[in-house]
A = this chain, B = another copy of it.
Amino acid sequence: MSAPQPVSDLEGVLLGIVGKFGPCTAYALRKHFEGSPTRFFTSSTGAIYPAVRRLERAGLLASRADRRGRQRRRLLQLTPGGEAVLQAWLGPPVDEGAFGTPYDPLRTRMYFVGALPARRRQAFLDALRRGLERQLAQVEAYVASFDPESNPAGRLAARGCLHATWAQLRWLDEVAREL
């Protein structure tokens, strides 16, 4: 038995969803990403289907043919190898690369706020404020969409989005105070 191959976050998540929500179709995997307040997971077919194919080739997912009426479909499930790789991906040990400060495009732009003329600068900060408040409402709805009974871990993860958004707003307060 060889050491489990390292997988990307997308692949880890796919394994995780199949493991958590039982045998399901690739389509169901895609749907899972919709409604997420992060843009990282896109649910585009051009990303999901090739990734599923890779995982099958690697022996981490198994598929069996199924139908829904006359409609053919493929139900995916975790293999023992897939379960092992999932456990390794989750950690511990947690991959070092998972610890960097999450990338925030707003922070990146703020780095160059000095390039904006004073008038535009204020409008920029106002736009951030409005955008983040919209984002906050979305995240709150997202958190509320989790049933704590049936998916407690999902809710905890979603609360992470909330903390992250609060942090952005606090940061923006600080910036507005100092500029």
Contact = CB atoms under 8 A, between A and B. Distances in A.
A124 to B, nearest CB: 5
Interface in A79-128: 86-87, 89-116, 120, 123-124, 126-128
A131 B94 contact: yes
A57 to B, nearest CB: 22
Contacts of A114: 20, 152-153
A118 to B, nearest CB: 13
A108 B100 CA distance: 14
Describe A's contact surface by its main secondary structure.
helix
A133 to B, nearest CB: 10
Given A20-B114, A108-B9, A134 B99 contact: yes
B156 A93 contact: no
A130 to B, nearest CB: 9
How many copies of this chain are found per oligomer? Answer: 2
A7 interface: no
Given A92-B120, A92-B127, A153-B113, A160 B107 contact: yes
B107 A94 contact: no
A20 B157 CA distance: 38
A168 interface: yes
B163 A170 contact: yes
Contacts of A109: 12, 89-91, 94, 98
Interface stretch (A35-43, A47-55, A66-74): A35-43
12 contacts: A37-B101, A39-B97, A94-B127, A94-B131, A95-B105, A101-B135, A104-B160, A107-B161, A110-B156, A159-B171, A163-B168, A163-B170
